[in-house]
């Protein structure tokens, strides 16, 4: 099988993430995309807004009815969550015939040289790097990169959180079950706004 690992804070998962995964599946004939919420992202300065369990649950809800989209707990307990660990764990869980890709947005890929053991990361996987408005990147030596340049999605979790906190309903940006879960749990300041 061809599997892409798609890690992120997913705080919360939004339609941009799903479109990225769809486009990568079509462009690279992937069989599966594993959505892997970070237990504790090493590159975020502050803590996540929602807990691991809430972020994981929202990923599950977003993947419902899409058997090729898999919610993964691979990062559970990894503090901080380094991609090299995720990749090693994925490899251990897969067979020798499985092909592993790493799906990532241009903003995150631009920082790859700051990652723990980044040379091991680029040796271990091929990247699918997705364009994102306002973000450019260069390819470090040895990295195998497939550029997916067809998307320019102006959506981010930060903006979704800001909208929710100010009482807006970003219904176009979130899968309906995710928005319902956020409201039900009062996440991202929605309880105050209600």
Contacts of 36 (CB under 8 A, 6+ apart): 5, 6, 7, 8, 72, 74, 75, 86
Q: Which residue is nearest to ligand ATP (CB)?
A: 105
Which of 3, 4, 20, 33 forms a contact with ligand ATP (CB under 6 A)? Answer: 20
Which of 116, 138, 158, 186 forms a contact with ligand ATP (CB under 6 A)? Answer: 158
Rounded Cα distance, 149 and 144, in Å:
16
- Does 148 sit near ligand ATP (CB under 6 A)? no
Q: In 10 A of CB 38, how many CB atoms?
A: 24
Which of 102, 105, 170, 178 forms a contact with ligand ATP (CB under 6 A)? Answer: 105
Question: Given 3-state DSSP classes, what are the helix, strand and coil percentages for the chain, each rounded to the nearest 5?
Answer: 40, 20, 45
Rounded Cα distance, 70 and 31, in Å:
11
Q: How far is the CB of 36 from ligand ATP (least distance, A)?
A: 10
- Does 55 sit near ligand ATP (CB under 6 A)? no
Under the rule (CB under 6 A), what is the footprint of ligand ATP?
Answer: 8-11, 16-17, 20, 104-105, 107-108, 130, 132, 153, 155-158
């Amino acid at each position: 099988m061809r599997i892409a690992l798609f890690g992120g804070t997913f705080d919360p998962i939004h339609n941009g993430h799903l479109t990225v995964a769809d486009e990568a599946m079509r462009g690279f004939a992937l069989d599966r995309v594993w959505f892997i919420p970070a237990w504790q992202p090493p590159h975020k300065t502050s803590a996540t807004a929602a807990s691991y369990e809430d972020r994981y649950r929202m990923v599950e809800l977003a993947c419902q009815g899409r058997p090729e989209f898999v919610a993964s707990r691979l990062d559970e307990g990894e503090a901080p969550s380094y991609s090299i660990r995720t990749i090693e764990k994925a490899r251990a869980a897969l067979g020798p015939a499985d092909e592993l890709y790493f799906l990532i947005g241009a903003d995150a890929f631009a920082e790859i040289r700051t990652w723990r053991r980044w040379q091991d990361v680029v040796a271990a996987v091929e990247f699918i790097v997705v364009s994102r408005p306002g973000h450019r990147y260069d390819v470090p030596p040895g990295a195998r990169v497939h550029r997916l340049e067809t998307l320019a999605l102006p959506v981010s979790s930060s903006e979704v959180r800001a909208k929710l906190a100010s009482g807006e309903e970003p219904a176009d940006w979130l899968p309906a079950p995710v928005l319902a879960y956020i409201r039900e749990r009062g996440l991202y300041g929605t309880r105050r706004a209600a």
